[in-house]
Amino acid sequence: MRTLLLAFSAVMLALAGLSAPLNAQEPLEKTGELPPLYRAEMDLAEGFVSDMMASGVVVPVPADPGGGYTHEQHKRNYRAIYLAGQLYRITGDRAYADYVRDMLLAYAELYPTLGEHPAKANQNVGRLFWQVLNDAVWLVHAVQGYADVRDTLSAADRAAIDDRVFRRAAHFLSVESQATFDRIHNHATWATAGVGMTGYLLDDRDMVDRALLGSDKTGNTGFLRQTELLFSPDGYYTEGPYYQRYALMPFMVFADAIARNDPERGIFAHRDGILLKALRTTIQLTYGGYFFPFNDAIRDKSLNTDELYHGVAIAYAETRDPGLLAIADWQGRTILTEDGLLLARDLAAGTPQPFDFRTLLLRDGPEGDRGAVAILRDGKGPDHLALVAKNTSQGMGHGHFDKLSWQLYDNGHEIVRDYGAARFLNVVAKEGGRYLPENESWAKQTVAHNALVVNGTSHFGGDADLADRHAPRQLHFSSVPGLQLSSARIDTAYPDNPVAMQRTLALVDVAGLASPVVIDVLRATGETANTYDLPLHYAGHIIETGFVVDRELAGRRVLGNSHGYQHIWVDGTARVQSDGAFMTWLLGGRFYSYRMAAQPDLQVILGESGANDPAFNLRREPLVIQRVEGAKETTFVSLLEPHGMSDGATEQTVDSQSLIASLQHRKYNGYDLVIVETKRGGKTVLAISNDTDPDKQHRANIDGRMVRWTGFAERIDLAGEKN
Amino acid sequence: MRTLLLAFSAVMLALAGLSAPLNAQEPLEKTGELPPLYRAEMDLAEGFVSDMMASGVVVPVPADPGGGYTHEQHKRNYRAIYLAGQLYRITGDRAYADYVRDMLLAYAELYPTLGEHPAKANQNVGRLFWQVLNDAVWLVHAVQGYADVRDTLSAADRAAIDDRVFRRAAHFLSVESQATFDRIHNHATWATAGVGMTGYLLDDRDMVDRALLGSDKTGNTGFLRQTELLFSPDGYYTEGPYYQRYALMPFMVFADAIARNDPERGIFAHRDGILLKALRTTIQLTYGGYFFPFNDAIRDKSLNTDELYHGVAIAYAETRDPGLLAIADWQGRTILTEDGLLLARDLAAGTPQPFDFRTLLLRDGPEGDRGAVAILRDGKGPDHLALVAKNTSQGMGHGHFDKLSWQLYDNGHEIVRDYGAARFLNVVAKEGGRYLPENESWAKQTVAHNALVVNGTSHFGGDADLADRHAPRQLHFSSVPGLQLSSARIDTAYPDNPVAMQRTLALVDVAGLASPVVIDVLRATGETANTYDLPLHYAGHIIETGFVVDRELAGRRVLGNSHGYQHIWVDGTARVQSDGAFMTWLLGGRFYSYRMAAQPDLQVILGESGANDPAFNLRREPLVIQRVEGAKETTFVSLLEPHGMSDGATEQTVDSQSLIASLQHRKYNGYDLVIVETKRGGKTVLAISNDTDPDKQHRANIDGRMVRWTGFAERIDLAGEKN
Ligand SMILES: [Zn+2]
Ligand SMILES: [Zn+2]
């Protein structure tokens, strides 16, 4: 029994250890109580840093653009400074501190010799990197590593590094690059964070105040103002999730530093807790861990990113929200700060609750009145159904001309797609990793989105400045059992030949169907005879079309010559005159049928992206376009139905064909009535009043039957014979 | 301490329980010792069977083809009979036995009324299903379920089911469908298994003997002969892995029954243990769990399939090979037999050893002289590099015209692809789930493979009968550190205008590169001026080409009009006159550069599959073709180099550009000398004598330096200046 007793004691000691306070004197590691996630993170850091230490200090004269050797080496260096500093703090091993010192002394030699980076591409040129942004990121990391070892340095080394690296870098970012520093923009957030944290470390109040309040210290610019202007009241960052993720890191890291150094500022409570709200919103803007790829987004960005390891750990330390533990568990990563240690400990102590992914509306704009993102979710977990209606404003220079566009996720896959950016990050042969020409000519254009195109021209004629001056209006958002619905409108997307667009997107339960369906009602009202195109960028292999396609079999023409149309190959066209306007595709073992309500002269164009792409910069992905020509107004009513499954392992295929018999649209009194009939005879109506008065009562006659509802919209079940 | 002591005793009891013999009297469940995998399998079975029981016995009159309602219902029924029988054996719950009885009594009503299935598509028509094969599968499952409950039945019920279902089904398969039954073909394996197992159950020796020895009981056909003729001495099934997997189930299940009923036959030792060898070979024919998609393969078939749950459990019970436990662990599934229980117990008892995936040669043909599959593997685990050289014979009706084709897997992905079959299994809208027209016009054609096409014509002119009469010859296969190599030859693929083809494929270490590279030397020797096309079907997004492509930007023509060329869109063409003939693509975060040695008038054609595809039956996938026109002979020398990485999470990109400076090919004395120079100056030579004498010594002069080697080929490191 002796062994068992000893084991028992060890367990009790370990349990006691878990709640023991941190010993500030003793290096953390000596206390022998590191939870697995934190220990794994240390191992990763030790692996990286020991490789770096083995290669010696390599601080090259800057030469290359993004992806090139000197670019990547300086990135490796700031990671090494940052991590080696933390490892010194944790282990007390002087070798780490000495390495950080030697590295920073090498920078102290180099930095004062630098002028503009030779790979300068625009006016925002950096010193160590081709753009000033990367210099700011370098500073944010390096100053943290330096903080961990600064006390170990000789006075001479400290002075050399303080003056020749950090003061100079801060001066470069805040004075020499003042135009960037004083912007309300994520580049400025990185710059203010770097400068402010340097100020805290060097006890330079002037530096801190300029970071917090802008160069003129009025608060019209600077970090605090950024927290007010860059996020909406719902914590949405106007450039979209990809940049939100990126922007969040300096916000969270600098806020953490402010909270420690200037606790009286209550930074995390500032503006109703906007930073913590923004962190949660960032997570809500994902499916399967991947960000919705709005605007200039790199599609492989997920929550598995350094920015979110920091964000989640810092927010957890502030809030103890157990859902954040689930996110950290999914990430399988954290950071080596005290916040990371706390998170890793609490995660080790039990199974986390799932993060609360839910249906919600995220308003855009500092005042929340510049459109919104509406997220409609059905179900839970990795296979749930999520509809994303992008009714936001343009989102500045990285915005796309995609007003009232949408996406759909289901069964772990993106079903209705957003292209994201045309860019191969850090890939030298792809223009040094910068945005490619096709980002302008395709990725930003309206036809590259699930959005209405009028007369073959992108929204705002593709003018980003004009686009930034107008935003959609979110008319309605609601969620009740059986019906989740968003409706938004914009009248200004075509200023020269005005077209009012209103789009209602809903997840609607249909009696007899296992999954809700998407109903999409897009009204376009112009003043002259226009051509209206409504593209749908789907993912999957076509299984069946309910219309006869006039195929382009032996040669493939291009659909147009500008506004993105030059990038579309035509696979075929169809005229649709009956209710047979559906097509079915297969993705990830599930079938999807897209059904288009009949309307006069409705054409369907099947195509694929990738034409006029000399350098093979585009992905080749299918799309379908509904087209109505020569009409002043039109209403596109579409339905997307997930159905059935095809399982390769069991060779079982179920419901590979649509379960819906027909989709009809009736206009009546300004109402839109959408009638869905299933093959088994069930009939479901989505009745939309288009009236935002929540209490107003409405009624309409459908085939002799009166239906009544209240407010903007309701789902009405007209029981069928065999239902 | 009392609690601890009690817990300890419980553990000891549990451990004792693990090795206790099965109690044959008591239902298994009552013994309370079911390991997790087995218990989970029971839960799955209970879920399925209780749903089926809740719907009542539904035995419809056969009407629909594959994927249709009656087809799927009869499939559900045989699964229910099979699983309910097992659940009765395990739980002793009479409800299961009664359900099997009721179901089989319904079949006893239906079966005698059946003639040819109305959805007959060819002469192999079934009764319950559109083809006799499915009837055989039904019988194999149903007879096992029936065996578990037969003792519980009244004499009248037993007689009704024996006579009106099983004897009739066995008669239908073995007498009325004798032509199928006596084939040497997987359809016949299912039929003989069903009939033989029925014979064991009904104690009908005649039935058993016809199953084992063929209708005439001479042994010229029947199950035993099938084990001799359908597998090569290395356990390779000539139709390829997809059908090997499928064929294996009746082989293993019937063999298990033979071993229990006729142990003196030593079935598992028959022909040097061919069935167990075949099971292991089936697993070797996978990457990441998915089968190499040779011939008419459905690409989403993996080891996660019912056939392999049976195969692995039965083989484990015979061999106790711990690698099979790892496979079962990956599958996360087993079967509810005693074999499955044993496997689940041993898996629960400890961590399995990995299955020994390795470099190996699998000869084709009953005598092992009809070509081979050579599998060259580098590394271990899910990301390892695997080159597959398909030098097999045609493989009967499901074979493709793909002589000396190859595939490459790396980093968890298929890099050099095989299309598999053009078929959507069980999808009604895709011709009822049958093979599509494009399976003949594209998937089977030579140009749809990584194989040499002469004068735009497929091997054997696309004549399957002719193809079956000729096979390649495996000249050489070897594996030493730094060089794994396969070489094969066929002279008969173009009988009317003979062209001898020899292909050497090797994984070669190159000094300074982290991963081995593929070197591909394809010699074609004809008698007249021919056009030689060598396609490579790669997967990934083009990053860079080392040649100027004359792009087809604003219209896309089709490459040809027959033998698969009518399905290829042309993206562009290039003339290659220097060493700059490379292209780089990105897949799964890794870069791949394909480099083609210069030769006179080498053209490159970039294209994509999907032209002339009226019903959208084809996938759209890229390919590159090397073309030499008007030459009697040519040697294509190519190199495929995996390099670098691009990690979205860390935004790190490393070595996105090829690390190789040049690829040269010298012919000398019948030798092929392939010289690879890296950008850092390292030089590696692959010296191929093309002489199968293992002891013969060879030498050649390379730029004034004499290199010497012995046997077929060697890798020689010519140290570079900066290496
Ligand atoms: Zn976009
Ligand atoms: Zn094939």
Which ligand has the nearest atom to the CA of A294?
Answer: 1
| Same domain flag for A350 and A373 | no
pLDDT at B31: 61
User: For the residues B381-403, what does the mean pLDDT come to?
Assistant: 96
Residue finishing a domain among A658, A682, A702: A658
The stretch B458-485 carries a mean pLDDT of 97
- C-alpha to C-alpha distance for A208 and A216, rounded to whole angstroms: 12
In a domain, B699, yes or no: no
Residue that is last in its domain, among B331, B357, B383: B357
Residue A578 predicted with pLDDT over 80? no
Rounded-to-integer distance, Cα B243 and Cα B420, Å: 12
Q: Are the Cβ atoms of B425 and A541 closer than 8 angstroms?
A: no
The reported pTM is 0.90
Task: Choose, from B71, B74, B117, B398, the residue flagged as catalytic.
Answer: B398
Residue B441 lies in a domain: yes
- At residue A273, φ and ψ (nearest 5 deg) are 70, 40
Vertex A695 angle, CA A690 and A699, to 5°:
60
Q: Do B75 and A430 touch (CB under 8 A)?
A: no
Contact (CB<8Å) B657/A301: no
Look at residue A18 in the predicted model and tell me its pLDDT.
33
Q: B344 and B327: one domain?
A: yes
Q: Is A695 exposed, middle or buried (0-12, 13-18, 19+ CB in 10 A)?
A: exposed
For residue B465, pLDDT beyond 80: yes
Q: Tens digit of pLDDT for each residue in A179-218?
A: 999 999 889 999 999 999 999 999 999 999 999 999 999 9
Say how many Å lie between the first and final Cα of chain A, rounded.
Answer: 68
**Assigned domain for B198 exists:** no
Q: Which residue of B has its CA nearest to A430?
A: B543
pLDDT of residue A122: 81
**pLDDT digits 0-9 by tens, B574-615:** 998 777 799 999 999 999 999 999 988 899 999 999 999 999
Interface contact flag, A426 B652, Cβ < 8 Å? yes
What pLDDT is stored for residue B426 in this prediction?
A: 85
Looking at the structure, tell me whether residues B369 and B263 fall in a common domain. no
Whether residue A387 sits in one domain with residue A290: no
Q: Which ligand is nearest to the CA of B390?
A: 2
pLDDT category, A27, cuts 50, 70, 90?
A: confident
Same domain, A2 and A151: yes
> A433 to chain B: nearest residue by CA?
B653
pLDDT at B120 over 50: yes
Residue A206: its pLDDT value, please? 97
> Quick one: tokens of B45?
């079975």
Chain B nearest-CA distance from A397, in A, is: 22
Give the mutation candidate from A64, A129, A330, A543 for the B interface (greatest B CB count, under 10 A). Answer: A543
Burial of B718 (0-12, 13-18, 19+ CB in 10 A): middle
Return the percentage of chain B with pLDDT > 90, whole number: 87
- Compute the distance between CA of residue B134 and CA of residue B141 in angstroms, rounded to an integer: 11
User: What are the tens digits of pLDDT across the range B8-42?
Assistant: 333 333 333 333 333 345 677 666 689 999 999 99
Q: Which range, of A619-633, A675-689, B570-584, averages the lowest pLDDT?
A: B570-584
Q: Check if the beta carbon of residue B407 is closer than 8 Å to that of residue B392.
A: no
Please provide the average confidence, as pLDDT, over all residues in chain B.
93
Chain B residue nearest residue A552, CA to CA = B612
Q: Out of B429, B541, B651, whose CB is closest to A584?
A: B429
Question: B462 and B402 in contact (C-beta within 8 Å)?
Answer: no
Nearest to B428 among A4, A5, A656 (CB): A656
Residues of chain B found within 8 Å of residue A428, distances taken between Cβ atoms: 653, 656-657
Quote the ligand 1 centre to A569 CA distance (angstroms).
19
**Of the residues B88, B99, B237, B243, which is catalytic?**
B243
- Known catalytic residues of A are 243, 398
Residue A220 domain-assigned? no
Q: A340-349, A408-417, B30-39, B226-235: which has the minimum mean pLDDT?
A: B30-39
Q: Is the pLDDT of residue B447 over 90?
A: yes
Asked whether the predicted pLDDT for residue B368 surpasses 50, the reply is: yes
Q: What are B489-528's pLDDT values in tens digits?
A: 999 999 999 999 999 999 999 999 999 999 999 999 999 9
Place of tokens 């780089």: B584
- pLDDT at A647 (0 to 100): 87
Q: From the CA of A444, which ligand is nearest?
A: 1
**Identity at B191, one-letter amino acid code:** A
Indicate whether B142 pLDDT > 60: yes
pLDDT for B623 beyond 80: yes
pLDDT range class, residue A7, cuts 50, 70, 90: very low
Query: What is the Cα–Cα distance from B315 to B308, expressed in whole angstroms?
Result: 10
Is the CB of B551 less than 8 angstroms away from the CB of A614?
yes
- The alpha carbon of A442 and the centre of ligand 1 are apart by a number of angstroms equal to 9
Across the interface, of A427, A586, A651, the residue whose CB is closest to B656 is A427
Question: Of A11-20, A400-409, B349-358, B648-657, which range is least confident?
Answer: A11-20
Residue A556 has its nearest CB partner, among B1, B556, B616, at B556
DSSP annotation of B451 reads S
pLDDT at A372 over 90: yes
Structure tokens at B167: 């004897």
Domain end among B357, B372, B396: B357
Nearest chain B Cα distance for residue A153, angstroms:
31
CA of A551, closest CA in chain B: separation in Å? 7
Read off the pLDDT band of A31 (50, 70, 90): low
Q: Residues A404, A338: one domain?
A: no
Domain assignment present for residue B671? The answer is no
Using the beta-carbon criterion (under 8 Å), do B75 and A652 form an inter-chain contact? yes
Split into its structural domains, chain B has a count of 3
| CB pairs A-B closer than 8 Å | 142
Interchain pair A614, B557: CB under 8 A: no
Task: For chain A, give the mean pLDDT.
Answer: 93
Measured in Å, residue B449 CA sits from the centre of ligand 2 at 6
Q: Which residue of A has its CA nearest to B67?
A: A653
For residue B646, list chain A residues with Cβ-Cβ distance below 8 A: 424-427
Q: Please give, rounded to a whole number of angstroms, the shortest distance from the CA of B316 to a CA of chain A.
A: 21
Give distance in angstroms: CA of A43 to centre of ligand 2. 45
Q: How far apart are CA B246 and CA B187, in angstroms?
A: 10
- B643 catalytic? Reply is no
Question: Which residue is closest to A297 within chain B, CA to CA?
Answer: B648
Judged against a pLDDT cut of 70, whether residue A5 lies above it is answered with no
A426 closest CB neighbour out of B304, B620, B646: B646
Asked if A367 and A383 sit in the same domain, the reply is yes
Query: Which CATH number belongs to the domain containing residue B28 in this structure?
Result: 1.50.10.100
Q: Are residues A127 and A259 in the same domain?
A: no
- Cβ of A620 within 8 Å of Cβ of B619? The answer is no
| Chain A residues close to B424, C-beta within 8 Å | 543, 586, 646
Does residue A28 carry a pLDDT above 90?
no
Do residue B617 and residue B584 come from a single domain? yes
Ligand nearest to the CA of B299: 2
Q: Six-digit token pair at B372?
A: 């081979």
Residue type, B331: Q
CA of B541, closest CA in chain A: separation in Å?
A: 7
| Range(s) of the domain holding residue A425 | 361-658
State the pairing for strand pair A483-490/A360-363: unpaired
Q: How far is the CA of A238 from the centre of ligand 1 (A)?
A: 14
Which of B133, B592, B616, B621 is the best residue to mutate to test the A interface, defined by the most A CB atoms within 10 Å of its own CB?
B616
Domain membership flag for residue B674: no
Residue B373 within any structural domain of the chain: yes
Report CA(A587)–ligand 1 centroid distance (Å): 22
Q: Beta strands of B9-116 (E only): which ranges? A: none
Answer yes or no: do B44 and B85 share one domain.
Answer: yes
The CA distance from B422 to the nearest CA of chain A, in Å, is: 12
- Asked if A429's CB is within 8 angstroms of B656's CB, the reply is yes
Q: Is A707 domain-assigned?
A: no
Q: Please state, for a pLDDT cut of 70, what percent of chain B lies above it.
A: 95
Pick the closest to residue B513 from B717, B287, B288 (CA basis).
Answer: B717
A186 and A78 share one domain: yes
pLDDT in the model for residue A403: 98
Q: How confident is the model over A421-467, as pLDDT tens digits?
A: 999 988 989 998 899 999 999 999 999 999 999 999 999 999 999 99
Give B291's strand partners. Answer: B286
% of chain A at pLDDT higher than 70: 95
Separation between Cα atoms, residue A676 and residue A686, nearest integer Å = 8
> Which ligand has an atom closest to residue B240 CA?
2
Candidates A551, A616, A619; nearest CB to B614: A551
Q: Kindly list the protein residues that place their beta carbon closer than 5 angstroms to ligand 1, a single-atom ion.
A: A 400, 418
Q: Identify whether the C-beta of residue A390 lies closer than 8 Å to the C-beta of residue A404.
A: yes
Q: Which ligand is nearest to the CA of A446?
A: 1
Q: Are B673 and B687 in contact (CB under 8 A)?
A: yes
Q: Which pLDDT belongs to residue A648?
A: 78
On whether both A456 and A588 belong to a single domain, the answer is yes
Predicted confidence (pLDDT) at residue B3 exceeds the cutoff of 70: no
The per-residue pLDDT for range A154-179, each reduced to its tens digit, is 999 999 999 999 999 999 999 999 99
pLDDT at A11 over 50: no
Residue B476 distance to chain A (closest CA, Å): 36
Give B-chain residues touching A612 at CB under 8 angstroms. Answer: 553-554
Separation between Cα atoms, residue B307 and residue A649, nearest integer Å: 10
Would you state the pLDDT for residue B16?
34
CATH at residue A485 = 2.70.98.70
* Interface touch B616/A427, C-beta < 8 Å: no
Q: Which residue has the higher pLDDT, B715 or A648?
A: B715
